[in-house]
Amino acid sequence: MSSASYTQLSREELWERVRRAQKHLESCRLCPRECAVDRRQSRGFCRAGASAVVSSFGPHFGEERVLVGTGGSGTIFFAHCNLRCVFCQNYQLSQGGEGTSVTAEQLAVLMLTIQDRYRCPNINLVTPTHFVPQILEAVALAVERGLRIPLVYNCGGYESVEVLRLLAGVVDIYMPDLKYSSGELSRSYSQAPDYFEKAALALREMDRQVGGLKVGEDGTAKRGLLIRHLVLPGALEDTKRVLEFIQGELPPDCLVNLMDQYYPSYRAFEYPELSRRVSRREFREAWEYAESLGLRLAR
Ligand code: SF4
């Protein structure tokens, strides 16, 4: 089994990253919201505190084929979220904060369990942005005990470039959403009018670090960029702008997962346009447009 990039970092370098990331717990700017709260005493937009909160973990077979392999992708779902989308399908975790507080030591044990007991091909960190310091510390602890499988940074795309730089050489696979191009949509649904501007910078930084998606002989991803876009009802033109950005600004070998599984959830029924599923015609048009741009689509 090939080893993840973080095994090449020196112990000192890894712990230095931990220390720099932990400074955010005193005045949090882990994401573009830049709440500047002391996470040990209060909460910012995402409502996360000083300890990581894990909602669930274990092999997951519903992820992209290149992440699943034979053992399933080794997911660790974190509670809370820096986007809190009104249509969130995991709102009990993202908004309700359901889960268990864990220490970095316990998180390290989870990572090693995923590798050694479940034999998953990767550790899939779901909604990790607000827990980067705790994740880095857990990786630093786990690598000393033999952690070697790639980390998947499975995020909403609303990321700080400065924080992503702390993850360079630590994360091998970036899997961001690119949810919207329109500031109106991102303002209405995620309270983030600058979503696209920040996500565009973040995805360029991810590309700089890892490039297009490389798949090993066993069929699982080893390194690179995999972008998800959930097609929303009535937002086909926005989907097209998102796809054009990917085609124009990112490498042709990044993998794009165009997703059709939207269903109204959480507060979606407060928005008439979000109160239905995406029609087959809408999704087919989005797919054909992506194909016409020559994107590498996950199937
Ligand atoms: S991670 Fe949370 S507290 Fe920190 S800046 Fe982002 S939303 Fe605010």
Q: What is the dihedral of CA 131, 137, 140, 141, to 10 degrees?
A: -120
Position 275, amino acid:
S
Separation of alpha carbons 292 and 168, rounded Å: 33
Position 18, amino acid:
V
Enumerate the H helices of 103-235 as residue ranges: 104-116, 132-143, 161-166, 183-190, 195-210
Query: Under a CB-based contact definition with an 8 Å cutoff, are residues 238 and 246 in contact?
Result: no
Which atom, in ligand 1's list, is nearest to the CA of 37? 3
Mutate to test the pocket of ligand 1, among 23, 25, 28 (most ligand atoms within 8 A of CB): 28
Separation of alpha carbons 88 and 93, rounded Å: 10
Helix, strand and coil in the chain, % to nearest 5: 40, 15, 45
Which atom, in ligand 1's list, is nearest to the CA of 43? 3
Query: In 71-111, at which residue ranges do the beta strands (DSSP E only) sit?
Result: 73-78, 100-102
In the block, tokens 């499988």 appear at 149
- Which CATH superfamily is 5-297 part of? Aldolase class I (3.20.20.70)
Q: How far is the CA of 13 from the centre of ligand 1 (A)?
A: 25
Domain boundaries, the chain: 5-297
Which atom, in ligand 1's list, is nearest to the CA of 80? 2
Cα angle 250, 253, 258 (rounded to 5 degrees) comes to 80
Per-residue pLDDT of the chain (299 residues; tens, 9 = 90+): 568 999 999 999 999 999 999 999 999 999 999 999 999 999 999 999 999 999 999 999 999 999 999 999 999 999 999 999 999 999 989 888 999 999 999 999 999 999 999 999 999 999 999 999 999 999 999 999 999 999 999 999 999 999 999 999 999 999 999 999 999 999 999 999 999 999 999 999 999 999 999 999 999 999 999 999 999 999 999 999 999 999 999 999 999 999 999 999 999 999 999 999 999 999 999 999 999 999 999 98
Q: What is the dihedral of CA 260, 265, 269, 272, to 10 degrees?
A: -10
pTM of the model: 0.97
Q: How far is the CA of 29 from the centre of ligand 1 (A)?
A: 6
Q: Which run of H or E residues covers position 283?
A: helix 280-292
Largest CA distance in the chain: 54
Number of Cβ within 10 Å of residue 157's Cβ equals: 25
Tell the residue nearest (CA) to atom 3 of ligand 1.
44
Q: How far is the CA of 223 from the centre of ligand 1 (A)?
A: 27
Closest by CA to 176, choosing from 244, 114, 125, is 125
Q: Which run of H or E residues covers position 258?
A: strand 255-259
Tell the residue nearest (CA) to atom 4 of ligand 1.
28
- Ligand 1 proximal residues by C-beta, below 6 Å: 28-31, 33-35, 37, 44-46, 48, 82, 130
C-alpha separations of 288 from 242, 281, 297 in Å:
14, 10, 11
